[in-house]
Structure 1
């Protein structure tokens, strides 16, 4: 896969899957825009680790609709165009229906949807406007196995990712005549910095038992699937959802 001089915008890319994806694109010759919300130190570290030149930081909160427009406009002003958008930013909030009060419940739904669905929808809108003018592009959305198996302690998370999948497939049909291709990667639990900090030993052990590989996904494995869907050779795979969950959840 050759991405030489391709202009790539990745939301939520200061660490984790976003960082691994940024590094993978940079190694293939792309110019990468790293979007982050508030962790400037991590974003700067990621920028310093990217191969090649021409990469740039973009600090915007994509959960705010006005900032999605500003982000894409800033990116296009800096690079001249946008070839690839990766909607990776996401949140995961626990809100067990039998434990939380109604205010916690509704706030969890609102905040989850703002980042996991509305941010991707709005950023895709502005990126698509730019791509239609420039002759096409690729949009890759990062979903989750939770969209299919359910998330009993985080129902808003599973629901938002299921909606993201449906939106992606709708856009794949609508944008095909403009040579804009839309794909989805649905990881299982991934070995990120956040997982290392938040998981208890018991929780980690339970997650390891879910996959016959007895391990979690590495961020680089998810990034590999993202790069495939963003490549020109994957154009006829538009609308595809790729599972990267180590056979921990199989859907028919």
Structure 2
């Protein structure tokens, strides 16, 4: 048992497995790896998708264990975030872990992008990458507080928040904001037993970035790391799984670099 410093009351120790987990943006790539890691851990997973219904059905079908659900919602709008959490709670009976993975990353280099396209790109990145993360975190945290057993929120940020994204500046900026949001939430929610962390991956071997990893461009990207490769999605998922565990409570507020030493912060 742990004591809630806000109320003085004792609260149950956060569970290692058998939890109710919501993973956003789980149609494929890293999201699929995240859902798989939690399912293999014995958790029940709500697999979220925005538009890729066929892909997310493949994710759901491949998950080990049972009790998993598929939930579609447009998280770029507050109403969509509310619907997603409400459906997850109704189907799973609550929520113990939220993984904010849903994101967009479309190119908009400042020197060549017309202003209208530039403004549209920024608005879309802010709505999906930042505001959806903020809204979902608030909704999930409120439910975790009501449940009284603590919880975990893990945000998927990016190396680009620190290294810069010259062709995708809104992506880098919104991911930096996600890191800052996570640290604010970590302080605010700790009295309720909710730990909040972020991961900052570099390039990951997924379908979305496959074109960028081909040919000479791909070789240059792999050479950014002294390991001469990019991450496997399962490597990132393993780190997120640990951050969502009871053993990682003291890591709350941290941003974990997962980039194979391709960018070192000081």
- Calculate the TM-score normalised by the size of structure 2: 0.92
Q: Quick check: 1:39 aligned with 2:52?
A: yes
Partner of residue 159 from structure 1, selected from 173, 180, 205: 173
Partner Cα separation in structure 2 for residue 59 and residue 154 of structure 1: 27
Residue 229 of structure 2 aligns to a residue in which SS?
A: coil
| Alpha-carbon offset, residue 197 of structure 1 | 4.0
Q: Which residue of 2 aligns with 1:232?
A: 246
In 1, Cα distance between the equivalents of 2:79 and 2:42? 31
The question of whether the paired residues in 2 share the 8 Å contact of 1:33 and 1:58 is answered with yes
- Structure 2: 5+ residue runs without aligned partners? 1-14
Name the CA distance, whole Å, in 1 between partners of 2:17 and 2:260. Answer: 30
Per the TM alignment, residue 3 of structure 1 is displaced from its structure 2 partner at its CA by 4.1
The alignment status of 1:241 with 2:251, answered yes or no, reads no
1:194 aligns with 2:217: no
Counterpart contact for 1:3–1:25, Cα < 8 Å: no
Q: CA deviation at 1:246?
A: 0.4
Q: Aligned to 2:199, what secondary structure does the other structure show?
A: strand
Does the CA contact (< 8 Å) of 2:212 and 2:218 recur in 1? no
| Aligned-residue RMSD, C-alpha | 1.0
What is residue 9 of structure 2 aligned with on the other side? none
- Counterpart in 1 of 2:10? none
Task: Report if the CA contact (8 A) 1:16-1:193 is conserved.
Answer: yes
Q: 2:137 aligns with which of 102, 109, 124?
A: 124
Asked if residue 10 in structure 1 is aligned to residue 3 in structure 2, the reply is: no
| Equivalent pair of 1:92/1:154 in contact (CA under 8 Å) | yes
What does 1:176-215 correspond to in 2, within 5 Å?
Answer: 176-197=190-211, 199-215=213-229
Deviations 1:102-150 (A, max 9, x none): 0011111101111110110000010011001011200000000000011
Please state which structure has a larger fraction of its residues in helix.
1
Contact 2:16–2:246 (CA under 8 A) maintained in structure 1: no
Q: Which residue of 1 aligns with 2:264?
A: 250
**d(CA) in 2 for partners of 1:139 and 1:128?**
8
Match of 2:32 among 7, 14, 19: 19
Corresponding residue SS for 2:209: helix
For residues 243 and 214 of structure 2, the distance between their equivalents in structure 1, rounded to whole angstroms, comes to 34
CA distance in 2: counterparts of 1:122 and 1:202, whole angstroms: 40
Query: Hey, what's the Cα distance between the residues in 1 that align with 2:216 and 2:75?
Result: 34
Separation of aligned partners in 2, 1:115 and 1:85: 16
2:126 maps to what in 1?
113
Structure 1 residue matching 2:154: 3-state secondary structure: strand
Distance 1:220 1:109 in 2: 30
